[in-house]
Amino acid sequence: MKGRRPRALARLCLSLLCALPCAGAAPLQAADPAARVTCEITENGRSASGVVSILEGDKEIATGTCGKELTLPVGEYVAALRLDGALDGPEQRQPLSAKPGAVLKLKADFATGTIEVRIASSGRRAAGMAIIKRKGQQLGTLGSGVAAHLSTGTYRVLVRYRSQEKDLGDVTLEAGQQRTLDAVFE
């Protein structure tokens, strides 16, 4: 009898453990209190690199490279997606609602073109600088012969060579367009 008791007790315990899920008890699972976020950046419909920042009000709570997953606590946020390499630093914002265990996929397509300014003096290429402005604000400068990615729109281009300056006026850039501007100095 001594040998049967432990076996009977073991069978009873095993049958009780197996019966628990059948009796309506939920299996134990770790709840995922966080949401996962991924993002994809494209430039004129083609894959590009960029970053995403997750904002809660004015506070940045997470940032990462698009293509890599971020984990967020449950809450309401704004995602700021930015394109790498564009002179004007374009950004697109999207509302973001992070729910427990959710997988959120963000996408942003940036319409851009390129501007290149070539400077010449006395019939030869020359070193100088192009100043790119939008709505009166300077966005950046370019050396002669250097192309820059910019969001579509209208820009004012000023060119400096030594002590001289030329205003090339307003230049409108469309998606995928490559503009080459010549500035000739005497």
The two most distant CA atoms of the chain are separated, in Å, by 115
Nearest Cα neighbor of 67 from 89, 42, 87 is 42
Task: Answer yes or no: do 130 and 178 share one domain.
Answer: yes
Task: Answer yes or no: do 77 and 131 share one domain.
Answer: no
Q: For residue 186, what pLDDT is reported?
A: 85
73 part of a folded domain? yes
Task: Answer yes or no: do 99 and 136 share one domain.
Answer: no
43 part of a folded domain? yes
Q: For residue 19, what pLDDT is reported?
A: 45
Distance CA 143, CA 159 (A): 10
Task: Answer yes or no: do 158 and 133 share one domain.
Answer: yes
Q: For residue 161, what pLDDT is reported?
A: 97
Q: Tens of pLDDT along 88-126? A: 999 999 999 999 999 999 999 999 999 999 999 999 999
Task: Answer yes or no: do 171 and 140 share one domain.
Answer: yes
145 part of a folded domain? yes
168 part of a folded domain? yes
Examine the fold and report which residue of 110, 139, 169 is the final residue of a domain before the chain moves on. 110
Q: Tens of pLDDT along 43-59? A: 999 999 999 999 999 99
- The percentage of residues in the chain with a pLDDT greater than 70, rounded to a whole number, is 83
Domains contained in the chain, number? 2
16 part of a folded domain? no
CATH number at residue 121: 2.60.40.10
Q: For residue 3, what pLDDT is reported?
A: 52
Task: Answer yes or no: do 106 and 155 share one domain.
Answer: no
Residue 76 has pLDDT above 80, yes or no: yes
Task: Answer yes or no: do 153 and 125 share one domain.
Answer: yes
Query: Is the distance from CB of 154 to CB of 91 less than 8 angstroms?
Result: no
Structural domain range at position 155: 112-185
Distances 97 to 34, 94, 166, 171 between C-alpha atoms, Å? 11, 10, 50, 39
pTM: 0.77
Task: Answer yes or no: do 122 and 67 share one domain.
Answer: no
Examine the fold and report which residue of 110, 133, 149 is the final residue of a domain before the chain moves on. 110
Q: Using pLDDT thresholds of 50, 70 and 90, give the confidence band for residue 6.
A: low
Three-state helix/strand/coil letters over the chain? CCCHHHHHHHHHHHHHHHHHHHCCCCCCCCCCCEEEEEEEEEECCEEECEEEEEEECCEEEEEEECCCCEEEECEEEEEEEEECCECCCCEEEEEEEECCCCEEEEEEEECEEEEEEEEEECCEECCCEEEEEECCEEEEEEECCCEEEEECEEEEEEEEECCEEEEEEEEEECCCCEEEEEEEEC
Residue 9 has pLDDT above 50, yes or no: no
Task: Answer yes or no: do 140 and 154 share one domain.
Answer: yes
Q: For residue 93, what pLDDT is reported?
A: 97
